Structure 1
Amino acid sequence: MKVSVTRKSIKFLPDSSRVVARYFMNGELRTKELISRILVMSDLEVKNVLEQINREFARRHRNLSAIFHRHYECVLPIIAEMKINEDELSEERKWLIGSYLTMEYSIESAAFFNPSIIEDFDQSGLEKGEKRIIISFRATGEGHVSSIVFRRGIIDKDNNLRIMRSGDSIEKAEVLHKMMFNKKRILSKLAEMHTMDIYSTLLNDLPDEFEYSVFKGLLTAELESPNISKEKQEAFEEVLWLMNSFYDIQFKHDSDISERVIFPISDTESRGIEDARFVRFVDDDGSETVMGTYTAYNGHSILSKVITTEDFYTFRVMPMHGEESQSKGMALFPKKINGKYVMLGRIDGVNNYLMYSLRLNQWKNPQIIQRPVYPWEFTQIGNCGSPLWTEKGWLVITHGVGAMRRYCIGASLLDLDDPSIEIGRLPEPLLTPLEDEREGYVPNVVYSCGSIIHNNNLILPYAVSDYSSTYAVVDMEELLEALLESKK
């Protein structure tokens, strides 16, 4: 049975005008020379130059002076090394130094793709048949650095999407690092990463629960030792790298959701935050939390992370544990099954796996539930976001890769009580790249990171060749009928 798909005409395109103020430091020597030049300026010169900078850039960023001060504080060690009495520097001079340590970065100039959609917490004030939604996107700028951005909109009774106007500025979050750590879990995580044993000598002297500041003090003392070996230095830096990957981020409450960007923060994601898959998770007690998974990339290795929020202002970020979690494409089920969290993942890069866990960020013992069967998915099969509950089973939107590395979107149905059982799988893709969808940063790709069901229709946002995004609508009755018939 052929399932009809209605592609909508709306396009989400890259927008080079969307910029953030990013820290920029061009080497220690050049920074010292720069600071020296600013120090010899008169107070009047400092004031005039700063006024000119504010005149040209203040309307593009919220609270620009606070950004400048934050970037100035990044070079306090250099200020101290230059034997400059910081107390004698005026706020204006500090801001001016910070302005030279700032650059604008266009977060979505290259691509705006891999969308994920969830129902908004607030469904008030809507007409019958309408639903307020939040869509996340992977925004990519210069150097292919990716971040997470959001848009809010309303889907009407006819499945037409109306997106709210984006805010005028973009805000990066304040970072709040986790303060307390469990030694056993840190050691377990380092063992999973196949790191060296040297770090254990440092951690053994710490209590079972220890503060970040205490550990950092010990680590700093070790790293400053003139006799430290390169091997030991690398091992200790790896421990710090891991611990810095736990953090909370906080956005100001006067920002619109379209102005909030989750930009790479820790070293583990310095080259990008990729393919966030968000889901409205309902716990056993009925409480709801937005949970997501994403891939952190530092240019050499990946680290799967979990991100949670209850209001889209405060987010908690933590790395996943378990060797089997160190892969791309992790997608969380929207509720527990038999008291456990459940996750899909493409552990070996080819097949779809299922995992259970009592802990949200610890995943082990995966089992293969889907292998490539049809020619359009012979290279690999994976998920396109979190499964959707239906009375007939868990609806899993999948991606398949075939000849010429063409990505298509398909669908499968898994048993509600035992998702390792595949009830049905479409033999043909739901979506293949149309002729006008084949060109982009990565040609011949349609891909999604999450969908929802609205008015008995599947609302499926998808990316077009890793460049832009749009969405499609599929009748659920027709889709489920085709899936159930596929196994007869």
Structure 2
Amino acid sequence: MLDLHVHALRLHADPSRVVVRPFHIAWAGANGGAPSRTERLVREVLEMNPGEAHVQLEAVLKDFEARHWQTRRVFMTRYDEIEAMLGLDGRDIGDEKRQLIGAYFCHEYSYAAAALMNPSVVPHFDQSGMPRGSQRILMSMRAVGEGHISSVAFREGIITDRNELKLAPEPPFATAADAVGDETEMPEGPVTVYRHRDSTLSGTVIFPITAQQSKGLEDLRLVQFTHDDGEKEWIGTYTAYNGSAIQSELMRTRDFRAFDLVPMSGSASRNKGMALFPRKIGGKYMMIGRQDGENIFVIASDRIDHWDEGQLLLQPEYPWELVQMGNCGPPIETDAGWILLTHGVGAMRKYSIGAALLDKDDPTKVIGRTKEPILAAADQDREGYVPNVVYTCGAVKHGERLFIPYGIADSSIGFAFVEIEKLLKLM
């Protein structure tokens, strides 16, 4: 097995990480019709005398103000959304009643209580002030909370050419990105969510918004994509899950303030684990996929949001991957070719991470692949929610190294550095 530098840092599930989320009553399937339920709640607060409203708001603030960031402003923002939905005239409604109405349409959610896993990493959009040998990074993580619902969390940090990693401190409070628009029914199709204007990216969580995503946004594979005109966009592929069916979708952003969540079409988009190349090749968008749940395919398309059948690229060959194979994130461009991290499943459903090298001009050609895993579950990394699993959704090139964040037993996140030259010698 390859000699990796495994960093001592581990990230774990944390039930104390809570966020205030909008409580979309219309989406909860209320009796009697969602709009009437919303109107009834608002009417009940408006009919309270000022003293009672004050007492009720103070009770809410006593329970929650110290647990969340700018709680009163969050309640007021939520009230503004309800006012717009119902066409209210808030000029005659005092601040306390408006805050109380907002509180009734919010709820607290522990977004990483069950697990924190399956990260991907890209160069940060802001590299200002970085000394030689250092790079600012942006990591996405799959956070799993109540109801085993998966969301996307972020963490910023710095890596160096001395195998050092320093993560930015988590802010004491997290906020949920949210869509703007009609709340009388759950959105369908493309939707845009916005980071709160005063929230850091390390404190932002993106939750399911549409019906297709209702049970989770799973395994974001984030890549810094360079368009033909040289403009950069951060694009991620993820699995939207509604409890019975899956759909591959895109997350797109240029500023990490607004995030477009866009369903993909085509036969390949009905499968998990798609990973986008960071640029076009031969005038085509390129994607790595697993169309049959067993082998790895490469797919070409004229559109970034439409993917049909692809070409078989890799199939299980060695004992550690005989059950099935898949990608472990977007291919990484090097002078030698595209490094594709892979995962394999062997006996006793043990997951391992390997790698393959694809031709730089024609990624349908495999130059080499590792015969042994470069990382496998061992010792303390075996235990967790799903034992014997190591898994990554994407690494980043830093100088002559790869920095690989990886999920451990579907429960926590570890970090490793590997020298590219040593990796290539194993293929």
Q: TM-score, normalised by structure 1?
A: 0.79
**Structure-2 change in CA distance of 1:257 and 1:72 (3 Å):** closer
Which residue of structure 1 aligns with residue 56 of structure 2?
49
The worse-fitting range, judged by mean Cα deviation, of 305-314 and 49-58 is: 49-58
CA contact (8 A) 2:221 2:237 kept: yes
- Give the deviation of 1:349 after TM superposition: 0.7
Is residue 130 of structure 1 aligned with residue 134 of structure 2?
A: yes
Which residue of structure 1 aligns with residue 21 of structure 2?
22
Is residue 360 of structure 1 aligned with residue 359 of structure 2?
A: no
SS at match of 1:355: strand
Is residue 348 of structure 1 aligned with residue 292 of structure 2?
A: yes
Deviations along 1:262-292, one digit per CA (max 9) or x if unpaired, are 1111111111100000011112222111111
Is residue 110 of structure 1 aligned with residue 107 of structure 2?
A: no
Q: Which amino acid aligns with 1:18?
A: R
The worse-fitting range, judged by mean Cα deviation, of 461-470 and 285-294 is: 285-294
Q: Which amino acid aligns with 1:375?
A: P
**Structure-2 change in CA distance of 1:32 and 1:280 (3 Å):** closer
**Structure-2 change in CA distance of 1:47 and 1:326 (3 Å):** same
SS at match of 2:11: coil
What does 1:67-466 correspond to in 2, within 5 Å?
Answer: 67-68=74-75, 90-176=94-180, 244-466=188-410
**Structure-2 change in CA distance of 1:53 and 1:301 (3 Å):** same
- Give the deviation of 1:33 after TM superposition: 8.1
CA contact (8 A) 1:176 1:247 kept: no
Counterpart Cα distance in 1 of 2:280 and 2:386: 36
Bigger-Rg structure (1/2): 1
**Structure-2 change in CA distance of 1:58 and 1:457 (3 Å):** same
CA contact (8 A) 1:111 1:141 kept: yes
CA contact (8 A) 1:79 1:86 kept: no
What value does the CA root-mean-square deviation take over the aligned residues?
2.8
- Give the deviation of 1:163 after TM superposition: 0.6
Deviations along 1:437-474, one digit per CA (max 9) or x if unpaired, are 11111111000000012131111110000000011111
Counterpart Cα distance in 2 of 1:79 and 1:417: 56
Q: Which amino acid aligns with 2:154?
A: F
Task: Name stretches of at least 5 consecutive residues in structure 1 with no aligned partner.
Answer: 178-212, 221-239, 484-488
Q: Which amino acid aligns with 1:327?
A: N
CA contact (8 A) 1:70 1:98 kept: yes
Q: Which amino acid aligns with 1:10?
A: L
- Give the deviation of 1:480 after TM superposition: 0.8
**Structure-2 change in CA distance of 1:87 and 1:165 (3 Å):** closer
**Structure-2 change in CA distance of 1:343 and 1:176 (3 Å):** farther
CA contact (8 A) 1:328 1:346 kept: yes
- Give the deviation of 1:45 after TM superposition: 1.4
Counterpart Cα distance in 1 of 2:370 and 2:340: 11
**Structure-2 change in CA distance of 1:247 and 1:35 (3 Å):** closer
Deviations along 1:371-404, one digit per CA (max 9) or x if unpaired, are 1111111111110000001111110000001111
Counterpart Cα distance in 2 of 1:99 and 1:422: 56
**Structure-2 change in CA distance of 1:5 and 1:85 (3 Å):** closer
Whichever structure has more helix as a proportion of its residues is 1
**Structure-2 change in CA distance of 1:412 and 1:72 (3 Å):** same
**Structure-2 change in CA distance of 1:379 and 1:482 (3 Å):** same
**Structure-2 change in CA distance of 1:367 and 1:156 (3 Å):** same
CA contact (8 A) 2:154 2:201 kept: yes
SS at match of 1:44: helix
**Structure-2 change in CA distance of 1:475 and 1:374 (3 Å):** same
Counterpart Cα distance in 1 of 2:423 and 2:268: 32
Deviations along 1:4-53, one digit per CA (max 9) or x if unpaired, are 22211110111222111134457447988866765653211111221332
Q: Which amino acid aligns with 1:57?
A: F
Task: Name stretches of at least 5 consecutive residues in structure 2 with no aligned partner.
Answer: none
The worse-fitting range, judged by mean Cα deviation, of 255-264 and 15-24 is: 15-24
Which residue of structure 2 aligns with residue 13 of structure 1?
12
Deviations along 1:126-164, one digit per CA (max 9) or x if unpaired, are 222111111110011111111111111111231110011
**Structure-2 change in CA distance of 1:281 and 1:404 (3 Å):** same
SS at match of 2:426: helix
